[in-house]
Structure 1
Amino acid sequence: MSRLKDPARLLAGRRALITGASRGIGADIARACAAAGADLVLTARDATALEETAGRLGAEHDVRTAVLAADLADPAVPETLWQEASAALDGPEGLDVLVNNAGLSHPETVDQLEAAHFDETLQVNLRAPALLAARAGTAMARAGGGAVVTIASAAALRPLAEHYSYSVAKAGLVMATRTLALELGDRGVRANSICPTIVLTDMGQQVWGDHPDKAAPMLARIPQDRFAQPHEVSDVAVWLASDAASMVNGAEIPVDGGYLVS
Structure 2
Amino acid sequence: MTTSSDGSPTLDSSLTGVDSKRVLITGASRGIGADIAQTFAAAGARIVLSGRDHATLESFSRTLDTETAIVVADLSTPSGADALAEDAARAFGGIDVLINNAGISYPETVDALDTAHFDEVMQVNLRAPALLAARVGRAMAEGSGGSIVTIASAAALRPLPEHYAYCTAKAGLIMATKVLALELGGRGVRANSVCPTVVLTDMGQKVWGDPVKSAPMLARIPAGRFAVPSEVSATALWLASDSSAMINGIDIPVDGGYLVS
Residue identity matched to 1:34: A
Query: Which residue is equivalent to 1:69?
Result: 72
**What corresponds to 1:138 in structure 2?**
138
In structure 1, what is the Cα distance between the partners aligned to 2:145 and 2:122? 28
Task: Name the SS for the 1:107 alignment partner.
Answer: coil
User: Of the candidates 41, 61, 64, which is equivalent to residue 34 of structure 1?
Assistant: 41
Q: 1:84 to 1:239 in 2, by over 3 A?
A: same
SS of 1:111's equivalent in the other structure is coil
> Match for residue 225 of structure 1?
224
Letter aligned with residue 48 of structure 1? A
Name the SS of the counterpart of 1:43 in structure 2.
strand
Asked if 1 retains the 8 angstrom alpha-carbon contact of 2:22 and 2:95, the reply is: yes
Specify the alignment match of 2:202 in structure 1: 202
- Structure 2 counterpart of 1:85, from 81, 88, 94: 88
Letter in 1 for 2:114: E
Aligned counterparts of 1:205 and 1:111: Cα–Cα separation in 2: 24
Q: Which amino acid in 2 is paired with 1:258?
A: G
SS of corresponding position for 1:150: strand
CA distance in 2, matches of 1:149, 1:6: 18
Q: Which amino acid aligns with 1:133?
A: A
Residue 8 of structure 1, CA deviation: 4.6
- Give the unaligned 5+ runs of structure 2: 1-11
* Aligned residue pairs, count: 250
Per the TM alignment, residue 79 of structure 1 is displaced from its structure 2 partner at its CA by 1.1
Give the Cα–Cα distance (whole angstroms) in 2 for the partners of residues 256 and 239 of structure 1: 17
**Residues 222 and 257, structure 2, Cα contact 8 Å, conserved in 1:** yes
> Hey, what does 1:162 align to over in structure 2?
162
What is aligned with 1:178?
Answer: 178
SS of the residue corresponding to residue 190 of structure 1 reads: strand
Cα deviation 1:18-75 (Å, max 9, x = unaligned) = 0000100000000001111100000011211111111110xxx3x2101111110011
Question: Gaps spanning 5+ residues in structure 1: where?
Answer: none
TM-score (norm 1): 0.93
Which TM-score applies when normalising by structure 2? 0.93
Where in structure 2 are the equivalents of 1:105-120 lying within 5 Å? 105-120=105-120
Q: For residues 16 and 119 of structure 2, what CA distance do their matches in structure 1 show?
A: 40
Pair 1:8–1:205, CA change in 2 (3 A): farther
Contact 1:126-1:172 at 8 Å conserved across structures: yes
C-alpha RMSD of matched pairs (Å): 1.3
The question of whether the paired residues in 2 share the 8 Å contact of 1:10 and 1:37 is answered with: no
SS of the residue corresponding to residue 148 of structure 2 reads: strand
